[in-house]
Amino acid sequence: MSNAIMKMANIRHHRALWRNPHLWYITAIMIACSIFYYVDVIIELMGWPKPLGGILYTVHDLHRVLFFIPVLYAAYIFRLRGVIVTALISLLVFLPRAMFISPYPESLLRPIVFVILIGGVGILLSKLLDNITERKQAEEALQQSEEKYRGIFDKAPVSIILLDKDGQMVDVNPCLITNIAKAKATKKDYLGKNLATHFCMVNAGLSETIARLLEGEPFDAKDVYFPITTTGTDDYFNVKGVPLFKEGKVIGAIVIEEDITERKQAEEREKQLQQELNLASRLASIGELAAGVAHELNNPLTGIMGFSERLLRKTRGERSKRDLARIHDEAQRAAKVVENLRTFARRYETRKQYLDIDDILQKAVELRAYELKTSNIEVVTELATNLPKTMVDFQQIQQVFLNIILNAEQTITEANRGGKLIIKTQPMKDCIRISFTDDGSGIPAEHLDKVFDPFFTTRGEKGGTGLGLSICHGIVTGHGGTIYAESKPGKGTTFFVKLPLATKEIDKDK
């Protein structure tokens, strides 16, 4: 198969050669030069007069120069093989005259020397043209390679940094400027700076890795956290480094980055949603259990409180009265727990209205104003002006605010015997955020993700039931919002409540 293809290629090559017009131009020039070479023989054979013959003899003397024309032409068009062919044809033109017509004995040597001369000149020209062509092709190949490299470098969807052997950044591609630097930095902000000592790499802990890269050790680091980037944000990147070698020595390196921040954020959101789903599932199960427990406990507790009140009215002894009062108080406390259970487990349709969150918040603060004042707690409210209204159930959202304020009041009192509670409202893109910041003892890190679990409390000995925040969580999520806490032990706690804004359709209806 391959031999057949080669034969076909050769046939095409020869056909193309014979069809090449330059071949016929050279042939015509060779014929013209041959006529000039034999002009004196033609004059004698034709019997032309001497004056005309003198002119033609003068033309005949130019034949040595004229024979350079086809040889050089062939060298230019067909290179070495053209020189050989035209030189051999020239020799065939010279031989008949040298051997049969010219009476001089050295006539045979002269055409051979002349053919060698013009052939040598043609070969030199051919080689020179080949060198020029090869150099031009090499330059064009280099230019194409550079253009291809630049095209890949400029259009690559990843950030690329080119380093010299010392770690200085000598080039960065546009993706790094647009995606990593967020167009807040330019190429000049990178060029000439050492990547190993750049604050981004130092903060990410990659300085030693870059140093080893410049010693010839490649690396591929996944999910690298950059606390501070050139844009001042914290992001995640996949970073890969490849050393560049020449004659066994490192002459530089390429570092490729990458921005996986959105993916990491999506993973975190998915993780948070999964946690919320698990919590909601637990709340639903515990709610059904709580409803049954509350129903079973409510009747005996009612009897205990009723009979203890009757005995208190009939009893005359002070000691007995104290004991009965203790029984009655404890029964009331148990009844309050049962009521919380019933509230926690209750399922009813919320009655949402188009309300002002600032107004609900101020009324909740007023309900606890006396207790807060007597506990020496300063309440600072920073309410946003022109806060947009939204659809909420007044009683439920007020209950959420009251529970959070009560928690803050208790933790401040236990830690400081007084302190400060800062309450803020803030409109955001698609929600209203309410924050409650206290300067109490804070929540330990191991407890922070459990504070909304039913019955979880660190105040069991002090009357805590562990239902308040779980009820808040259920109410807020029922409104399509979120509730979460941030805390540092010894530095206080901040609870955040986010409630979605009402849609435009609801706005029109209201």
Mean pLDDT in the chain? 76
**Same domain as 16, residue 98:** yes
Shared-domain flag, residues 191 and 338: no
**pTM > 0.85: yes or no:** no
The CA distance from 167 to 156, in Å, is 22
- Here the CATH number for the domain that contains residue 329 is 1.10.287.130
Q: What is the pLDDT of residue 249?
A: 85
- Three-state SS sequence of 431-471: EEEEEEEECCCCCCHHHHCCCCCCCCCCCHHHCCCCCHHHH
Tokens of 438: 């206290």
Question: Closest Cα partner for 67 from 32, 19, 38?
Answer: 32
Q: Which residue has the tokens 């193309």?
A: 16
According to DSSP, the β-strands at 169-172 and 159-164 are antiparallel
- 120 and 47 housed in the same domain: yes
Taking CA 408 as the corner, what is the angle to CA 402 and CA 413, rounded to the nearest 5 degrees? 125
Helix, strand, coil percent values for the chain (each to nearest 5): 60, 15, 20
Q: What pLDDT was estimated at residue 228?
A: 59
Is 357 found in the same domain as 327? no
Query: What is the sign of the dihedral through the CA atoms of 306, 312, 315 and 318?
Result: positive
Q: What is the pLDDT of residue 138?
A: 75
What is the total count of domains within the chain? 4
Give tens-digit pLDDT for 249-277: 887 887 877 666 667 767 777 777 777 67
For residue 357, what pLDDT band results from cuts at 50, 70 and 90? Answer: very high
Examine the domain organization and report whether 142 and 179 are in the same domain.
no
pLDDT, one tens digit per residue, over 164-222 is 888 888 888 877 777 666 666 777 777 888 878 777 777 777 788 888 888 888 888 77
Bridge partners, residue 431, by sequence: 500
Residue ending a domain, among 345, 378, 399, is: 345
Whether 363 and 504 map to the same domain: the answer is: yes
Q: What is the DSSP letter of 196?
A: T
CA-closest candidate to residue 125, choices 73, 161, 87, 89: 73
Residue 224's CATH number: 3.30.450.20
Mark which of 345, 371, 398 sits at the end of a domain.
345
Looking at the structure, do residues 56 and 130 belong to the same domain, yes or no? Answer: yes
120 and 36, same domain (yes or no): yes
Q: How far is CA 415 from CA 143, 401, 411, 445, 464, in A?
A: 74, 21, 6, 18, 16
Domain span at residue 235 reads: 157-260
First to last CA, the chain: 84
Question: Do 240 and 325 belong to one domain?
Answer: no
The verdict on 173 and 91 lying in the same domain is no
CB 458 within 8 A of CB 437: no
Residue (of 362, 182, 183, 156) closest to 256 by Cα position: 156
- The CATH number given to whatever domain includes residue 401 is 3.30.565.10
Residue 10 shares a structural domain with residue 139: yes
Q: How many CB atoms lie within 10 A of CB 468?
A: 22
Choose one of 345, 376, 398: the last residue of a domain.
Answer: 345
Same domain, 366 and 481: yes
pLDDT in tens, 413-469: 887 778 899 999 999 888 999 999 998 888 877 777 777 776 666 655 554 556 778
| pLDDT computed for residue 307 by the predictor | 84
d(CA 201, CA 131): 49
CB 60 within 8 A of CB 37: yes
- Residue 260 has what pLDDT? 64
Helix then strand count (H, E) for the chain reads 18, 12
- Cα Rg of the chain, angstroms: 49
Helix (H) or strand (E) holding 152: helix 109-155
Range scoring the smallest mean pLDDT among 53-57, 152-156, 266-270: 53-57
Please give the pLDDT value at position 30.
79
pLDDT at 508: 44
pLDDT surpassing 70 at residue 8: no
H/E stretch holding 24: helix 21-37
